[in-house]
């Protein structure tokens, strides 16, 4: 016999369990359906704490006597263990949005949207590809992938007149990842010019933030549908039949643009306010934990409204530092993620042009952290020339090892603050220039970014005065987004004294007049700073080993 205040006595069969929140009683949907109790859902008029499990959103009602009623709508396919894991990882402040973390819902066919992935061909359909021979492990993986994807309604049997082959890539854990070779389809597809922002520019808005949360979308590309009528173009050929995608697969040329269009539409008014989004990674930045709770709640509401879902195992809430896009973000600034540093230290020897290009591309991603980068890679870049012979010579191998070591000592770059005094230091040698962007706070001068590059062949013929001037123009172009947002004039330090009067010169050559026209956009002063004092930018520009002979200079800028 059960007795509840304001409710008639009744008999009911219960199971004895450990309730997740210490509730006295859990009444399920069968009870509600049987007794049809009178509940004021607006006022939450019930006397006792009751957890009613129906079938994933959570609504909280504050009762008149300060007792909470939780109504949790769990998907009936969700496993209890998964529910328990989600409630343990996700803070209680967001339990009203637990459906956003529902794995079952994330694996269902998403609805059509205005930004569905459209495949527009420039020419005719690509021909049907060959079917690659597969090993037993690959065949088993293929069969399991098709079965699982058909069950989720992500793919369907196809009778398309085109089709691409499948291949497999090994995962770090030894498993296999199925990939569709869309090379021919991508070559025939008109490219989508929707912009995907550079990663290092996304984090320029974090000044003043001390609390961070990270939300990783579950399913990523599979959250977006293929535009109706284009499904047959995604057909892939396999030994078990032909199938076409209903959701956007990996490997399509315009997939990043389409997906970024989706997340931008979802968070359009929140971007750079307290949200940064790059593909499927969302970072929320706030000045306090209370503010962060409000911000994260808004983000989760947007995800729910747009049928987007998060992976609870990859989410972090209210932390003082977080790994994001290969950086460690904190209130102090940015530093290189330790895993990336370790990856650099473990980099295998460079035995081919492709391996060298891969390493230099990785180093260039963190160029604003590395002092004297141009000097550290000058011998390596000489091997980018046609007909270069591998393996590396002693000089290049030494630079390879020095650059790996430089990653371990890379500084923390402070967040840019528009209200602080800002200094641009630049110095040009005969063959290169180096620069540092810094800001002065109560604790001293802190670097914001480093930069260095080689002059292209035409610039090698400039007089030293023009090279110094070109260095200033290069820096202001490079850091334009920072410098135009300052609330006060910034200072440019140069070791060429005549440049102090450049902006007030009455007679200019055509070339210098064009540079002066560009510089007039900025509010700054030029200060003479002898080269012996400007040790850092001077070191970035004095590339002892690159100006031994002009023929060794690469014509490509190293940024």
Q: What is the pLDDT of residues 102-152, one digit of tens each?
A: 888 888 899 999 999 999 998 788 888 888 888 999 999 999 999 999 999
Q: From the CB of residue 15, how many other CB atoms can be counted at a distance below 10 Å? A: 5
Closest C-alpha to 275, from 286, 289, 288, 259? 286
Give me the pLDDT at residue 466, please: 83
Q: Is 54's pLDDT higher than 90?
A: no
Q: From the CB of residue 421, how many other CB atoms can be counted at a distance below 10 Å? A: 15
Give me the pLDDT at residue 496, please: 79
Closest C-alpha to 400, from 336, 352, 341, 350? 350
SS3 state of residue 464: helix
DSSP type of residue 412: P
Residue 93: C-alpha distances to residues 56, 152, 294, 318 (Å): 15, 31, 9, 12
- Flag the least confident range among 26-35, 152-161, 189-198, 511-520: 26-35
- Helix or strand holding residue 53 (H, E): strand 51-53
Give me the pLDDT at residue 356, please: 87
Give me the pLDDT at residue 210, please: 92
Position with higher pLDDT, 80 vs 502 = 502
Contacts of 123 by beta carbon, 8 Å cutoff, 6+ apart: 188
For the chain, report the end-to-end CA distance as a whole number of angstroms.
77
Topology match between the domains 107-331 and 422-552? no
Q: From the CB of residue 57, how many other CB atoms can be counted at a distance below 10 Å? A: 17
Annotation: CATH topology of 422-552: Nucleotidyltransferase; domain 5 (3.30.420)
What is the SS3 assignment for 226-291?
A: ECCCCHHHHCEEECCEEEEECECCCCCCCHHHHHHHHHHHHCCCCECCCEEEECCEEEEEECCHHH
Closest C-alpha to 188, from 118, 120, 259? 120
SS3 state of residue 483: helix
- Structure tokens that stand for 41 in this block: 């859902």
- Express each pLDDT in 230-287 by its tens digit: 999 999 998 899 999 999 999 999 999 999 999 999 999 999 999 999 989 999 999 9
Where are the domains positioned within the chain? Answer: 2-102, 107-331, 336-408, 422-552
**Measured on CA atoms in the order 532, 533, 535, 538, is the torsion positive or negative?**
negative
pLDDT band per the 50, 70, 90 thresholds, residue 5? low
Residue 70: C-alpha distances to residues 14, 31, 51, 59, 151 (Å): 19, 16, 5, 6, 33
Q: What DSSP assignment string belongs to 524-535?
A: EEEEE--TTT-H
CATH of domain 107-331: 3.10.10.10
Contacts of 50 by beta carbon, 8 Å cutoff, 6+ apart: 23, 25, 26, 27, 69
pTM of the predicted model over 0.95? no
Q: Is 46's pLDDT higher than 50?
A: no
């Amino acid at each position: 016999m059960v007795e509840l205040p304001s409710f008639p006595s009744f008999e009911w069969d219960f199971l004895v369990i450990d309730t997740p929140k210490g509730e006295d009683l859990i009444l399920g949907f069968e009870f509600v359906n049987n007794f049809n109790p009178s509940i004021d859902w607006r006022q939450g008029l019930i006397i006792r704490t009751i957890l009613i499990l129906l079938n994933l959103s959570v609504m909280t009602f504050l009762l008149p006597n300060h007792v909470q009623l939780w109504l949790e709508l769990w998907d009936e396919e969700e496993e209890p263990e998964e529910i328990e894991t989600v409630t343990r990882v996700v803070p209680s402040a967001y339990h009203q949005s637990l459906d956003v973390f529902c794995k079952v819902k994330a694996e269902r066919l998403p609805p059509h949207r205005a930004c569905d992935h459209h495949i527009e061909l420039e020419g005719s359909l690509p021909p049907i590809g060959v079917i690659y021979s597969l090993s037993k492990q690959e065949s088993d993986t293929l069969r399991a992938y098709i079965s699982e994807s058909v069950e989720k309604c992500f793919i369907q049997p196809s009778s398309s007149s085109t089709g691409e082959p499948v291949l497999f890539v090994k995962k770090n854990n030894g498993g296999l990842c199925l990939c569709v070779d869309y090379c021919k389809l991508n070559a025939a597809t008109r490219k989508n010019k929707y912009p995907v922002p550079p990663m290092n520019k996304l984090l320029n808005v974090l000044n003043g933030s001390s609390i961070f949360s990270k939300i990783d979308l579950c399913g990523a590309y599979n959250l977006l549908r293929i535009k109706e009528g284009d499904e047959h173009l995604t057909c892939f050929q396999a030994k078990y039949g032909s199938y076409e995608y209903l959701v956007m697969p990996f490997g399509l040329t315009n997939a990043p643009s389409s997906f970024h269009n989706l997340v931008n539409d979802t968070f359009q008014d929140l971007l750079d306010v307290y949200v940064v989004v790059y593909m499927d990674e969302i970072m929320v930045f706030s000045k306090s934990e209370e503010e962060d709770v409000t911000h994260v709640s808004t983000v989760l509401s947007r995800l729910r409204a747009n049928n987007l879902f998060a992976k609870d195992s990859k989410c972090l809430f209210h932390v003082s530092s977080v790994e994001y896009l290969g950086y460690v973000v904190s209130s102090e600034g940015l530093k290189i993620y330790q895993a990336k540093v370790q990856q650099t230290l473990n980099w295998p020897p460079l035995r081919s042009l492709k391996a060298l290009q891969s390493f230099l591309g990785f180093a260039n991603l963190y160029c604003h952290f590395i002092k004297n980068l141009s000097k550290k890679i000058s011998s390596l870049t000489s091997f980018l020339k046609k007909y270069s012979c591998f393996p590396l010579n002693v000089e290049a191998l030494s630079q390879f090892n020095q650059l790996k070591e430089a990653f371990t000592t890379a500084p923390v770059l402070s967040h840019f603050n528009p209200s602080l005094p800002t200094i641009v230091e630049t110095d040009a040698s005969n063959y290169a220039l180096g620069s540092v962007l810094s800001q002065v706070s109560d604790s001293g001068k802190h670097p914001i970014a480093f930069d260095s590059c080689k002059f292209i062949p035409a610039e090698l013929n400039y007089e030293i005065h023009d090279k110094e001037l070109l260095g200033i123009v290069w820096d202001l172009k490079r850091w334009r987004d920072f410098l135009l947002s300052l609330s006060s004039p910034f200072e440019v330090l140069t070791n060429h004294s005549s440049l102090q009067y450049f902006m007030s010169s009455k007679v200019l050559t055509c070339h210098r007049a064009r540079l002066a026209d560009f510089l007039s956009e900025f509010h700054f002063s030029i200060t003479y700073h002898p080269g012996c004092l400007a040790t850092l930018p001077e070191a970035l520009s004095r590339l002892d080993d690159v100006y031994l002979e002009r023929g060794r200079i690469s014509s490509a800028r190293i940024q």
